[in-house]
């Protein structure tokens, strides 16, 4: 099974302003089928709180900062995202939550599948049972 990892993105530093980019299957280990973003999060709110059966994601803090907490069925791993030139690869079957959003933060999420509610596991006990069977 794949493991989560921080992936550095290309960056072109320029006095006019910096530029980074993502090419599917090159800078991230999958092809992009869907892009969504999370914004206008009020202080103290928590997003996520689910896992996906097969879906993989890549999360970038395009603006501001937030924490992504991943759980592999046993242990929590916390990643603070606060730069737009790296992101977090989230493989399938990791419980993930997002919290500590700063004011005006913007989370970009790239996914390898279209939206499908059947991909979600929204019960943590059920997730742990399935995860620890594998
Ligand atoms: P959800 O993934 O539960 O949000 P989060 O994990 O950030 O807390 O999605 C919230 C709602 O948005 C849910 O009703 C499904 C809908 N949604 C879509 O229709 N398409 C999408 O691509 C996503 C990510 C969510």
Q: Which helix (H) or strand (E) holds 125?
A: helix 124-133
pTM of the model: 0.97
* 62 belongs to a structural domain: yes
Round to whole Å and give the CA distance between 82 and 88: 11
Q: Which pLDDT does position 51 carry in this prediction? A: 98
Atom of ligand 1 nearest to the CA of 117: 15
Marked catalytic residue, from 50, 53, 92, 128: 50
Residues of the chain with pLDDT under 50: none
- Ligand 1 pocket member 110 (CB < 6 A): no
Sign of CA dihedral 73, 113, 30, 22: negative
pLDDT, the chain, mean? 97
Question: What CATH number has the domain bearing residue 90?
Answer: 2.60.120.10
* 66 belongs to a structural domain: yes
- Ligand 1 pocket member 47 (CB < 6 A): yes
Q: Which pLDDT does position 134 carry in this prediction? A: 66
Could you list the residue range(s) of the whole structural domain that residue 73 is in? 5-9+30-133
Residue pair 123/55 in contact (Cβ under 8 Å)? The answer is no
For residue 50, indicate whether it is catalytic: yes
Structure tokens at 14: 């320029």
* 106 belongs to a structural domain: yes
- Cβ burial, residue 7 (10 Å; 0-12/13-18/19+): middle
- Ligand 1 pocket member 39 (CB < 6 A): no
């Amino acid at each position: 099974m794949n493991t989560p990892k921080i992936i550095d993105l290309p960056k072109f530093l320029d006095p006019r302003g910096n530029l980074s980019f993502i090419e599917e299957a090159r800078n991230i280990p999958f092809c992009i089928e869907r892009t969504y973003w999370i914004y206008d999060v009020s202080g103290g709110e928590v997003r996520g709180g689910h896992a996906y059966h097969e879906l993989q994601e890549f999360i970038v803090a395009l603006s501001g900062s937030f924490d992504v907490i991943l759980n592999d069925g046993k242990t929590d791993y916390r990643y603070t995202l606060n730069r737009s030139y790296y992101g977090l690869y989230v493989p399938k079957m990791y419980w993930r939550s997002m919290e500590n959003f700063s004011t005006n933060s913007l989370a970009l999420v790239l996914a390898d599948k279209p939206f499908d509610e059947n991909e979600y596991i929204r019960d943590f006990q059920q997730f742990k049972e399935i995860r620890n069977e594998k």
